[in-house]
Amino acid sequence: MGARLLLEDGTLFEGTHFGASGESFGEVVFNTGMTGFQEVLTDPSYYGQIVTMTYPLIGNYGCTVDDMESTRSHVRGFVVRSYETIPSHFKSEFSLDDYLKREGVVAIADIDTRKLTRILRVHGTMKGVITSLDTPLAQLQQRLADYVHPVDQVAQVTTKTPYRIPGEGLRVVLLDFGVKMGVLRSLRARNCDVVVLPAYSTYEEIMAWGPNGLMMSNGPGDPMDLPEIVETIKRLIGRIPIFGICMGHQLLCLARGAQTEKLRFGHRGANHPVKDLRTGRVYMTSQNHGYVVREESLRNTNLELTHINQNDGTVEGVRVKQEAAFSVQYHPEARPGPDDSDELFDEFIQLMKQFVQGGDVNAKTK
């Protein structure tokens, strides 16, 4: 059965259909990871996006509940060069096709994903639609032109009610902007007592849990859609140690007066080199973001640039001078991807310990 992918600029790809049937609109982006399609599909930061995998063979190792990054898929569509129908891996419990059908994700295979990626690299990410239906092209074009991306996507994916993952160690409140399981696993591996709160929790609701530290998660959409949350973070900086990942990083920077902007085509994949400017060490990192903190905007703030991307020189990490707060644009929880940056969670634990011992609101990030 056939399927079509139509881009906002009029480019049409015709391929084979798999996954759910129907018509689905979203922002078309690409991911450069060679593996990790299941983590990509279940990462809430991809909410509202149609994801293309640049690696040509997808589905080979099947799916397993173990590798889910949340309880459902958040993508609006999935695009691959070659879909492998027979999964082969000892952990595989079901096929990618079964999973996409179950989650209502429309997918297309057998298109030239290299050509698609080059279009997105040159012209930037754009709106698109995948359809398995026979809708006439002119009608499809009109519907795509009328489609608008959802705003405040964080509200769609954050937990509706607080929940706790008990542990014997330090109490971490996690503001859930669309948290990946990997972040929770990394905190649990360090025995933290984790309380996950809705993104729009107030300063008082957060502090009522008596946290030793605040973790701010990844999440979908534009950080500038979230001014109320930025106001809450302004009050929290200096009160408790803070560690921000991706969306959490962008919001920390906005709270300290920096600015964010949209990248032309973003960074998505498990193979992005990042340099720690303090040590000169380069880490391979897992990434998924379309927005970035503007480096020039750090100048009049007390944010210190700690990490940069080796490919395009963009901001990858900061710390707040004189305060116990730091953040990174990439994903140290590494699902999928290299765990080079796992130590950032240990740094956060150290910061919280220092803070507990000294009761010191000025415990320094290293």
> Would you name the residues annotated as active-site residues?
246, 331, 333
Check whether the bond before 336 is cis (ω within 30° of 0). yes
Identify the CA nearest to 19 among candidates 79, 68, 70, 91: 79
Of 59 and 221, CB closest to ligand GLN: 221
Q: Is 288 in the site for ligand GLN (CB under 6 A)?
A: yes
Q: Annotated binding residue at 322? A: no
Distance CA 246, CA 317 (A): 9
- Minimum Å gap between C-beta 41 and ligand GLN is 14
Of the candidates 81, 289, 307, 335, which one interacts with ligand GLN according to CB under 6 A?
289
Closest to ligand GLN by CB, 30 vs 355, is 30
Query: Which CB sits closer to ligand GLN, 131 or 218?
Result: 218
E-strand stretches of 8-122: 12-19, 23-31, 49-53, 57-58, 77-79, 82-83, 106-109
| Site membership for ligand GLN, residue 244 (CB under 6 A) | no
Using CB under 6 A as the criterion, what x/- string covers residues 168-207 for binding ligand GLN?
A: ----------------------------------------
Of the candidate residues 24, 31, 42, 45, the single one contacting ligand GLN (CB under 6 A): 45
Instruction: CB nearer to ligand GLN: give 197 or 247.
Output: 247
Q: Does 220 help bind ligand GLN (rule: CB under 6 A)?
A: yes
* HSE-up (13 A, CA, CB side) for residue 76: 22
Spatial CA neighbour of 223 closest among 181, 264, 255:
255
Q: Is 53 in the site for ligand GLN (CB under 6 A)?
A: no
Whether 112 contacts 13, CB under 8 Å: yes
Residue 151 CB, shortest distance to ligand GLN, in Å, is 12
Measured from the CB of residue 199, what is the shortest distance to ligand GLN in angstroms?
Answer: 12
Region 105-164 residues binding ligand GLN, contact defined as CB under 6 A = none
Is 288 annotated as ligand-binding? yes
Cα separation, 37 vs 55, whole angstroms: 10
- Please say which residue, 247 or 258, places its beta carbon nearer to ligand GLN: 247
Task: Give me the least distance between CB of 178 and ligand GLN, in Å please.
Answer: 7
**Which two structure tokens, joined as six digits, stand for 42?**
């279940």
- Using the minimum distance from each CB to ligand GLN, give the nearer residue, 218 or 306: 218
Which one of 9-17, 217-225, 269-277, 314-322 is the stretch in contact with ligand GLN (CB under 6 A)?
217-225
User: 348 and 310 in contact (C-beta within 8 Å)?
Assistant: no
218 binds ligand GLN (CB under 6 A): yes
Q: Give Cβ neighbours of residue 30 (< 8 Å, ≥ 6 apart).
A: 51, 52, 53, 54, 113, 116, 117, 120, 265, 268
Rounded to the nearest whole angstrom, what is the least distance from the CB of residue 327 to ligand GLN in the complex?
Answer: 11
| Interface segment toward ligand GLN; rule CB under 6 A; list 54-62, 131-139, 283-291, 354-362 | 283-291
Which residues have C-beta within 8 Å of that of residue 216, sequence separation ≥ 6? 174, 175, 177, 233, 242, 243, 244, 245, 247, 248, 249, 251, 252, 327
- The reply on whether position 291 binds ligand GLN by CB under 6 A is yes
Q: Judged by CB under 6 A, how many residues of this single chain contact ligand GLN?
A: 11
Q: Please check if 215 is assigned to a binding site.
A: no
Rounded to whole angstroms, the Cα distance separating 74 from 8 reads 21
DSSP summary character for residue 364: P
291 is known to lie in a ligand binding site: yes
Summarize as ranges the residues that interact with ligand GLN (CB under 6 A): 45, 218-221, 246-247, 288-291
Binding-site residue numbers for L-glutamine are 45, 219, 221, 247, 250, 288, 290-291
